[in-house]
Structure 1
Amino acid sequence: MSQLNASVRENALGRLQAGQSQSEVARALRVSQSTISRLWHRFQQTGSSAPAPMSGRPRVTTQAQDRYIRVTHLRHRFQSASVTARALPGGRRISVQTVRNRLHTTGLHAYRPLRGNVLTRRHCQARMQWANQHLQWTLANNRRHVVFSDESYFLLQHHDSRRRVYRRQGERYHQQCVDEAPPHGGGGVMVWGAITNTGRSQLVEVPGRLNAQHYVQDILQPHALPLLAAPRAQFQHDNARPHTARLTTNFLAANNVNTLPWPSLSPDLNPIEHAWDELGRRLNARVNAPPNRRQLFQALQQ
């Protein structure tokens, strides 16, 4: 209940005893009706308007401020606790930790956000349509015939946000505690791969910028077509320019390759992303990082 000072409590009780309704008193004093109701109930029970003594340390926020904190962070999920602490109505300054404590009691905790693509309404509709069309797919009848493929880029110096450093207070800028990362990761290697229900393709290094001619001659012809020789085989690749170029589509049509339609900006629907993630984890777990592109590709092959 909001804490009313003694003069306001006496004013409210005087109005109630004079015959005014609780809602009339609440409007006149600009407080909630529930506050007046609890004040009247306590007066009838104890004969006193003084609030009941409270044990322990008094709360620095009211229930209304607690609701404000919760609603604010539900509406603005990326707002920091420090901003909320400064903007809290009521005129009383509270600490950032108090804001965090109030959020924790409502089940709201700070996490690293999931990184995702910027999806337009058209992208979302295409993804939903694709999902509905394949809702009845099963491993036995459909998914086991699909060859899922994709390219991925691995850096020589990968900055892993999950990595932690153990240091003492004041050692933040010690050289041993700094995770040094050259610009753009110091270069890296692009690879192509494909997975099926029964196995995988070779890991293919993509030197330089991938174009349609390179994609057809060095990837599809020697590596993808052998996987697509099985009956009912279906090929999946995304809508990158080398994949949708006329040279590529003509090559796939000439070889009677059945291509799985794919919604744009949907890497999360491709199970090969799990393989890339596992490769990245194993690479980061190595004690000695590969010093050059050649050894990086060899490490990925292992």
Structure 2
Amino acid sequence: MGKTADLTAVQKAIIDTLKQEGKTQKDISERIGCSQSAVSRHLSGKSVGRKKCGRKRCTTRRGDRTLRKIVEKDRFQTLGDLRKQWTESGVETSRATVYRRVQEMGYRCRIPQVKPLLNQKQRQKRLTWSTEKQHWTVAQWSKVLFSDESKFCMSFGNQGARVWRKTGQREMPKCLKSSVKYPQSVMVWGAMSAAGVGPLCLIKGKVNAASYQEILEHFIPPSAEKLYGDEDFIFQHDLAPAHSAKTTGKWFTDHGITVLNWPANSPDLNPVENLWDIVKRNLRDKRPNTLDELKAAIEASWASITPQQCHRLTASMPRRTEAVISAKGFPTKY
């Protein structure tokens, strides 16, 4: 312990006491276990510790507050944009300093989540709907048969496996990831309740009112039988044109099925969306290479979804409605 900075407040107090008792610096250093030079520096008043090292901070707190306002005004600006606006406000600095300051403020550059664009009317309808359903219990939500369509492509974007290559191997065939302009895809329809998932429908062609009614005709009865038996249920779907068609509404009336009113652009309120995410994550691991492999992988992943997973998602509905109310109709984390 030769450095003055190593002395604690207690050690310094002991040094002062022992000095008053007439002890020598050597005796004191041996008594408290530090070097004699440390005792000497403390007694001579030089024990002020090390001076701060490194460059002096080039921005002021006021300047940093200005940067925070610039960042919060538009979260999608680049470092170059932030630096330009900060310079225009009177703070001349480098990109590196801008980066350090926004890091110090707790900001991190991340890929933004994609959420539906909601206008004021849609937000109000979401808020009204959530307020009406705010006190629904999990038992009530368990009576709802949630449904949705989703598209699965052979291409999985930038996610998935990376490639190990050396300099100069960028164009080597073994190091290339194949892509096509219009990747093959599969459209599917599925339904779930708190009891599990119903049979999955692989859709051929585009979904219009007529084809959608065929899906309902062939897949609602087995889904209802599996998940509800003889009990009544409420059917949920979004406001896609095929769903909102008058002929589709007549189909439900003719079959005596109650349809849950639903706010537009609200995938965060539909737990089936979470099931699609589960299926797509599984596909990224399996990496199907043909359309048949893609279809088989989708069906296998859907079939592997457990009733426990579906029950947890259904049980989240009260939290989802609360989240919409808290967000005043704006998109939520779900």
Superposed pair shares fold, TM > 0.5? yes
- Would you say the 8 A contact 1:60–1:94 is kept in 2? no
Aligned counterparts of 2:162 and 2:97: Cα–Cα separation in 1: 26
Q: How big is the shift at 1:187?
A: 2.0
Moved more, 186-195 or 53-62: 53-62
Task: Render the CA deviation track for 1:179-235: whole Å, top value 9, x for unaligned.
Answer: 443224x12000000011112111111101111111112x11121134346433000
Match of 1:283 in 2: 283
Q: How big is the shift at 1:237?
A: 0.5
Match of 2:245 in 1: 245
Gaps of 5+ in 2: 1-50, 301-334
Gaps of 5+ in 1: 1-52
Moved more, 207-216 or 54-63: 54-63
Match of 2:324 in 1: none
Q: How big is the shift at 1:150?
A: 0.5
Percent identical residues:
31
Task: Render the CA deviation track for 1:75-128: whole Å, top value 9, x for unaligned.
Answer: 111111121123323363412x32121111111111111101111001100111
Match of 2:61 in 1: 63
Answering whether residue 235 of structure 2 is matched by residue 235 of structure 1, we say yes
- Would you say the 8 A contact 2:199–2:223 is kept in 1? no
Match of 1:99 in 2: 98
Match of 2:213 in 1: 216
Q: Which amino acid aligns with 1:233?
A: F
Moved more, 75-84 or 163-172: 163-172
With over 3 angstroms needed to count, the CA separation of the structure-2 counterparts of 1:249 and 1:103, relative to structure 1, is same
- Would you say the 8 A contact 2:236–2:260 is kept in 1? yes
Aligned counterparts of 2:93 and 2:166: Cα–Cα separation in 1: 31
Q: How big is the shift at 1:63?
A: 2.4
Task: Render the CA deviation track for 1:124-155: whole Å, top value 9, x for unaligned.
Answer: 00111111111111112x11111000000000
Q: Which has the higher contact order (CA 8 A, sep 6+)?
A: 2
Aligned counterparts of 2:263 and 2:180: Cα–Cα separation in 1: 35
Structure 1 stretches of 4+ with a deviation exceeding 6 A read 168-174
Q: How big is the shift at 1:169?
A: 7.3
- Would you say the 8 A contact 2:59–2:91 is kept in 1? no
TM-score normalised by structure 1 residue count: 0.74
Answering whether residue 182 of structure 2 is matched by residue 204 of structure 1, we say no
Aligned to 2:289, the other structure's residue is in SS state coil
Q: Which amino acid aligns with 2:147?
A: S
- Would you say the 8 A contact 1:158–1:181 is kept in 2? no
Aligned counterparts of 1:86 and 1:166: Cα–Cα separation in 2: 38
Alignment coverage as a number of residue pairs: 244
Pairing of 1:148-227 with structure 2 (within 5 A): 148-161=146-159, 164-165=162-163, 179-184=177-182, 186-217=183-214, 219-227=215-223
Q: How big is the shift at 1:273?
A: 0.6
With over 3 angstroms needed to count, the CA separation of the structure-2 counterparts of 1:225 and 1:280, relative to structure 1, is same
- Would you say the 8 A contact 2:68–2:102 is kept in 1? yes
With over 3 angstroms needed to count, the CA separation of the structure-2 counterparts of 1:201 and 1:120, relative to structure 1, is same
Match of 1:297 in 2: 295
Q: How big is the shift at 1:275?
A: 0.7
Aligned-residue CA RMSD (Å): 2.3
TM-score normalised by structure 2 residue count: 0.67
- Would you say the 8 A contact 2:198–2:222 is kept in 1? no
